[in-house]
């Protein structure tokens, strides 16, 4: 009889437990960044965003300062790892890379979201065009994509994707592994123009202001820079998104931008709302 009572009580307990399970509080979770050091993937050749001075290993730029600010808020040390533009996705897809996040003028788009996560956006820009000073042949989008213009774009970027469809209609695309290579090709007269995000072009323009000119031509979808994170890591995304919101709301965004790029109208590039984490 006792055994029957015990079984009945057990059945009742299981039924009650299953009914109450959805209301029980979630267990205490571990920090999404358990290590003392955060490894941040950056490209070392983006003036204004991320550069490393040869010999000194001193890093400067908006993305570098943002990474340092995030690390300080997380009470961690930031260690920078140089990557190329094409490697930005790859290092986040492979856990063995050890990279916690990528901060590198990394445009958020829906295709990339299928493979990795993004926190952001923290900066908004559009596609722009840089030419040699005195060259006024490119005045609008039509004159950019006709007359067999030779345009240099960084390989594996959204800049390349935005112009790829015009290759058949009078445009020659030259792709390069790094932005600085396109900049060199433009200065050397090997291409007619260098096209990438307007903000990146403004950064390069500061390196040779007497030789280059960023035109008023802009086109394509908005480029919204986000912080790349490993896929399906909602906890990391939520922590970084919350900190990014503070970075933008507390005035750090304007200060860091002014130190590194000195734009005339910085508000045009400021995001007013961050995306939800997936």
Partner 1 sequence: MPAIPLLSPSRDFTRNVGITDAHEQRRNSVMMRTVRRGSWIVPACAATGVLTILLLVMGAKGAEISQTLSLGVGIIGCLISVYFQKTEAPLPSLQSWWYWLLSAVPLAILAVAVGWWFFIHKPDENVTDLVQISVSNEAAGDQSKAKGDQPEVIGDQSKVILTLPLENGSAAGFVRDNLALTLRLVNTKTVGNCVTPATLDITPKLDGKDGDTVKGVRSGKEVLLPLEGSKRQVKAEIVVHLPDPSCTVNLTVSEAVLFN
Contact range with partner 1 by CB under 8 A, out of 77-85, 105-113, 134-142, 228-236: 105-113
Q: Where are the alpha helices (DSSP H) in 108-233?
A: 110-113, 141-144, 158-164, 179-187, 198-205
Q: State the DSSP string of 194-211.
A: EEEEHHHHHHHHTTSTTT
Query: At closest approach, how far in Å is the CB of 226 from partner 1?
Result: 8
Rule CB under 8 A: is residue 18 a binding residue for partner 1?
yes
Closest CA to 69 of 231, 224, 250, 217: 250
Number of Cβ within a 10 Å radius of residue 95: 9
Rule CB under 8 A: is residue 258 a binding residue for partner 1?
no
Q: Which is nearer to partner 1, 107 or 195 (CB)?
A: 107
CA separation for the pair 117, 261 (Å, rounded) = 27
CA separation for the pair 105, 49 (Å, rounded) = 7
Q: For 130-152, give one letter per residue: b (16+ CB within 10 A) or e.
A: bbbeeeeebeeeeebbeeebebb
Rule CB under 8 A: is residue 111 a binding residue for partner 1?
yes
Site map (CB under 8 A) of partner 1, residues 113-152, x = contact? x-------x-------------------------------
Closest CA to 225 of 183, 271, 264: 271
Total binding residues for partner 1 by CB under 8 A?
A: 32
**Residue of 90, 222, 238, 252 that binds partner 1 (CB under 8 A):** 222
Closest CA to 177 of 156, 203, 151: 156
Q: Which of residues 33-92 bind partner 1 (CB under 8 A)?
A: none
Q: At CB < 8 A and 24+ separation, what contacts does 260-269 make?
A: 260/48, 260/49, 260/60, 260/61, 260/62, 260/65, 261/48, 261/62, 261/199, 261/202, 261/203, 263/199, 263/202, 268/124, 269/123, 269/124, 269/125, 269/199
Query: At closest approach, how far in Å is the CB of 32 from partner 1?
Result: 20
Rule CB under 8 A: is residue 110 a binding residue for partner 1?
yes
Contact range with partner 1 by CB under 8 A, out of 84-92, 107-115, 199-207, 236-244: 107-115
Rule CB under 8 A: is residue 276 a binding residue for partner 1?
yes
Q: Which is nearer to partner 1, 16 or 258 (CB)?
A: 16
Contact range with partner 1 by CB under 8 A, out of 7-15, 62-70, 140-148, 204-212: 7-15
**Residue of 85, 108, 129, 130 that binds partner 1 (CB under 8 A):** 108
Q: Which is nearer to partner 1, 20 or 57 (CB)?
A: 20
Rule CB under 8 A: is residue 156 a binding residue for partner 1?
no
Rule CB under 8 A: is residue 168 a binding residue for partner 1?
no
Rule CB under 8 A: is residue 155 a binding residue for partner 1?
no
**Residue of 175, 238, 252, 275 that binds partner 1 (CB under 8 A):** 275
């Amino acid at each position: 009889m006792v055994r029957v009572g015990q079984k009945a009580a057990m059945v009742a307990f299981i039924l009650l437990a299953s009914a109450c399970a959805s209301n029980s509080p979630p267990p205490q979770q571990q920090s999404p960044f358990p290590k003392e050091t955060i490894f941040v993937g950056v490209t070392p050749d983006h003036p204004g965003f991320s550069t490393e001075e040869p010999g000194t290993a001193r890093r400067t730029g908006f993305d570098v300062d943002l990474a340092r600010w995030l690390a300080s808020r997380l009470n961690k040390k930031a260690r920078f790892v140089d990557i190329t533009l094409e490697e930005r996705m790859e290092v986040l897809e492979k856990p063995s890379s050890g990279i916690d996040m990528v901060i590198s003028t990394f445009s958020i788009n829906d295709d990339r979201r299928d493979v990795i996560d993004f926190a952001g956006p923290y900066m908004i820009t559009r596609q722009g065009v840089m030419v040699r000073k005195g060259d006024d042949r490119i005045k609008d989008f039509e004159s950019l994509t006709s007359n067999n213009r030779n345009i240099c774009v960084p390989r594996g970027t959204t800049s390349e994707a935005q112009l790829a469809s015009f290759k058949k209609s009078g445009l020659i695309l030259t792709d390069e592994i790094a932005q600085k290579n396109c900049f060199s090709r433009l200065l050397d007269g090997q291409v007619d123009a260098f096209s990438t995000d307007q903000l990146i072009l403004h950064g390069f323009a500061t390196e040779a202001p007497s030789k280059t000119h960023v035109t008023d031509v802009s086109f394509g979808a908005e480029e919204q820079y986000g912080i790349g994170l490993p896929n399906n890591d909602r906890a990391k995304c939520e922590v970084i998104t919350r900190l990014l919101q503070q970075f933008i709301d507390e005035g750090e965004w304007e200060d860091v931008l002014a130190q590194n790029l000195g734009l005339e109208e910085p508000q045009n590039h400021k995001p007013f709302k961050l995306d939800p984490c997936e």
